[in-house]
Amino acid sequence: MAKRTVRDTEVEGKTVLVRVDFNVPMDIKTGVITDDSRIRAALPTITYLLDHKAKVILCSHLGRPDGRVVEGLRMTPVAQRLSQLVDLPVSTVSDCIGTAVEKAADNLKGGEILLLENIRFYPQEEANDPSFAQALAKPADIYVDDAFGTAHRAHASTVGVAKYLPAIAGFLMEKELEALSSILSTPEHPFGALLGGAKVSDKIGLIQNILDKVDILLIGGGMAATFLKVQGYEVGLSLVEADKQELAHQLIEAAKQNGASLFLPVDVVVSDSISEQATGEVVPIARIPPNKYIADIGHQTVELFSQQIRQCRTVFWNGPMGVYEIPRFAQGTKALVELLANLKATTIIGGGSTAEIVEEMKLTHKMTHVSTGGGASLKFLQGKSLPGVAVLLDREH
């Protein structure tokens, strides 16, 4: 059921607490933000509230302070960058609950912004402590969740506050839910899924949930080693999840039964080590040396996967095809990203490292949707309920 959004709610003159995901990459020594895409992603909701004369209180976590104050993880640099983007002052306060916050909130006027301090400075945030959630909600009239990237976490700022305030979705949350829901319910066919990353275990639920929906399933990255192993291939020193081999075999059979075409690498880049100094060579999968690691997909696999992707009208991609952090092992991933960017189809990119790759290649604008939530998007596509979404009011409420 569609969730109620800020568009469906009277916000003028109201104090609105907005959970955003401003967990941006930042040099904690200098306070320099190296990628502001998460801040930009929240701008439609923030500007809408400002234009409608709401008093806007933003809260977010930054980094992993583990429930203690870490000076290098204060929100001040984020406030400065946000101020530049909205071309308005952004007030800050050195706490996220308590008297100082309540006073700052009282002083807000319609169309003004207050950014609270890092909410993970308190261990009660991740513990979803009711008292902390109530204190966080106290200055506000309405709660807006626009942080899809944390929606799979049952924290005080994503779930707890909804017990004390009417909870609705921001535009980014709405966009994420609509984009991901569409590939589960109404994908245009042929529908292809390109999956990579290190482990099969990270993607099992996703594969199981989309097998009856996809026409083409392409598996690369480290997780391909387990699938190749169960088909009798030598995979060298590559990680094989022994306890997932039987499941990998079952998934291969299930794909056949569902009429989905499953493709694995036909050649790979192998290396003596996974390091910046390592060199690689391309070998067919039947000739993987027992003393080497699989580090990327090979040229023939790139071409095979490309041929399949070009047939698709909808493509979902999650997980690199190789050890992307090392440039010489990133070529397979980059080739397929460039293909997706120029594909005349609906292209949905999973969050996390997958989204970071697209952003790094400056191709975000060429994709239909790039999710801001890695773990959240995977859990959603597994068919599981996200705590931070479940607490939001339905539009018909």
CATH number at residue 237: 3.40.50.1260
What's the whole-model pTM score? 0.90
Q: What pLDDT sits at residue 1?
A: 55
Residue 388 lies in a domain: no
Q: What is the sign of the dihedral through the CA atoms of 73, 75, 80 and 82?
A: positive
Residue 389 lies in a domain: no
pLDDT in tens, 194-209: 999 988 888 888 999 9
Residue 114: strand pairing partners = 57, 91
Of 172, 191, 215, the domain-final residue: 172
Q: What is the average pLDDT score of the chain?
A: 95
Mind telling me the catalytic residues?
Answer: 38, 199, 352, 375
Residue with tokens 């800050």: 92
Enumerate the H helices of 107-194 as residue ranges: 123-126, 130-137, 171-185
Distances (CA, A) of 243 to 89, 255, 294: 54, 20, 20
Asked whether residue 140 falls in the same domain as residue 219, the answer is no
Asked whether residue 347 falls in the same domain as residue 305, the answer is yes
Give the confidence band of 179 by pLDDT, cuts at 50, 70, 90.
very high
pLDDT in tens, 277-300: 898 999 999 999 999 999 999 999
CB atoms within 10 A of CB 107: 11
The answer to whether the beta carbons of residues 21 and 150 sit under 8 Å apart is yes
Asked whether residue 194 falls in the same domain as residue 155, the answer is no
Question: Mean pLDDT across the stretch 309-334?
Answer: 95
Dihedral of the alpha carbons of 248, 251, 252, 258, in degrees to the nearest 10: 180
Q: What pLDDT sits at residue 352?
A: 84
Residue 232: strand pairing partners = none
Instruction: Name the residue range of residue 355's domain.
Output: 179-381
Token pair for 318: 């999650």
Residue 328 burial by Cβ neighbours in a 10 Å radius (0-12, 13-18, 19+): middle
Asked whether residue 242 falls in the same domain as residue 352, the answer is yes
pLDDT in tens, 349-382: 998 889 999 999 999 999 999 999 888 999 999 9
Q: What is the rounded CA–CA span in Å between residue 158 and residue 292?
A: 44
